[in-house]
Amino acid sequence: MIDSIVEFQGVTKQFGDYRAVDNVSFEVKVGRIFGLLGPNGAGKTTSIRMLTSILKPDSGAIKVFGITAGPMTQSRLGYLPEERGLYKKMKVGEQLVYLARLRGLTRDDARKRIRYWLERFGAYDWIGQEVGELSKGMQQKIQFVATIAHDPGCLIFDEPFSGLDPINSEVLKEVILELRDSGKTIFFATHRMEQVEQLCDDIALFNKGKLILNGDLGQIRASYGQNSIHLRFAGDSRFLSGLKNVRINNRSTNFAEIRLLDGADDQAILQEAQKNVRVLGFELVQPSIQEIFIDSVSREVSQ
């Protein structure tokens, strides 16, 4: 049995003078949720398009299930693209059965699986409607069902929460975790750092086409230690700008994530906060993924 479902080995992809993916190597382990993250234009979608054989790398190799990525591996993947691709004039049920049969399911198996997943998403009543009549969030659910109906071993989701409201986002998170727990391997691309915190086992941080950090999410966070403060308060937040040897992240009206830099003292920061605001919560924590990303990009730039 193979240990890694996906392997990128020194992969580069260039469009004219623009290098979208620059000598990237990583692997995705069986039964894990792997987060590919970074800002827009970092190389995430290009990497996915090479993984699904929509694009070919200029150099390096990509393997899926131990086989070089190509037509033979496409049917073993489930791909939810960032740009949705449903046929607007087809009815939901007809379209889902058609797409499932393209992936090798019989008509009866396709109908059974589609019914299960539509009911799971509270969407079975839409089965006779044309896709174009549905809202963006509804279409997103239909596209998700199309991605997973043929029961692939590896699922690839590119910005899967786009267009979903908070309630449906929670339902989708539950389903993704259930799929992982059933043994599926999930390759998950996003620029939303909080989604990575909630879902991913392993991560790869991309910036300007380069892989700048890769590994087990828990181990990466632990390696930074408890060097950040979560401060909740009531009062005027302007005192935060006067703190020394810190970096302020995720600042809002009554909350701040404060990164301790060299020489910073958490107790001195607490005392300063108490002088200026009513402190409602003060906790020394491991850094967020957003803070780790900022730190990793800063190191890359300074090298």
pLDDT tens per residue, range 169-219:
888 899 999 999 999 999 988 877 778 888 999 999 999 999 999 999 999
Residues 175 and 277 in one domain: no
Q: How many structural domains does the chain have?
A: 2
Q: Is 288 helix (H, G, I), strand (E, B) or coil?
A: coil
Contacts of 207 (CB under 8 A, 6+ apart): 38, 39, 42, 296, 297, 300
Domain span at residue 12? 4-220
Give me the helices (H) in the chain, please. Answer: 44-51, 71-74, 92-102, 107-120, 136-148, 166-181, 193-199, 217-224, 266-276, 289-302
Confidence (pLDDT) at 303: 58
Residues 137 and 280 in one domain: no
The verdict on residue 297 lying in a domain is no
Q: Is 19 helix (H, G, I), strand (E, B) or coil?
A: strand
Residues 129 and 263 in one domain: no
Neighbours of 300 (CB within 10 A): 14
With a cut of 80, say whether residue 65 has pLDDT above it.
yes
The verdict on residue 291 lying in a domain is no
With a cut of 90, say whether residue 88 has pLDDT above it.
no
Burial environment of residue 260 by CB neighbours within 10 A (0 to 12, 13 to 18, 19 or more): buried
Residues 192 and 62 in one domain: yes
Give the CATH number for residue 268: 3.30.70
What does DSSP assign to residue 157? Answer: E
Confidence (pLDDT) at 169: 86
pTM for this prediction:
0.85
Tokens at 172, concatenated: 């989708």
Confidence (pLDDT) at 301: 60
Q: Is 209 left (phi over 0), alpha (psi -120 to 50) or beta?
A: left
> Can you tell me the mean pLDDT for 223-249?
91
Confidence at 1, pLDDT banded by 50, 70, 90: low
Residue 64 bridge partners (DSSP):
6, 67
Distance CA 225, CA 88 (A): 50
Residues 255 and 211 in one domain: no
Confidence (pLDDT) at 145: 93
The per-type count for the chain, helices as H runs and strands as E runs, is 10, 14
Cα radius of gyration (the chain): 22
With a cut of 90, say whether residue 140 has pLDDT above it.
no
| Side-chain-side CA neighbours of residue 244 (13 Å) | 5
The verdict on residue 33 lying in a domain is yes
Tokens at 114, concatenated: 């589609």
Confidence (pLDDT) at 101: 92
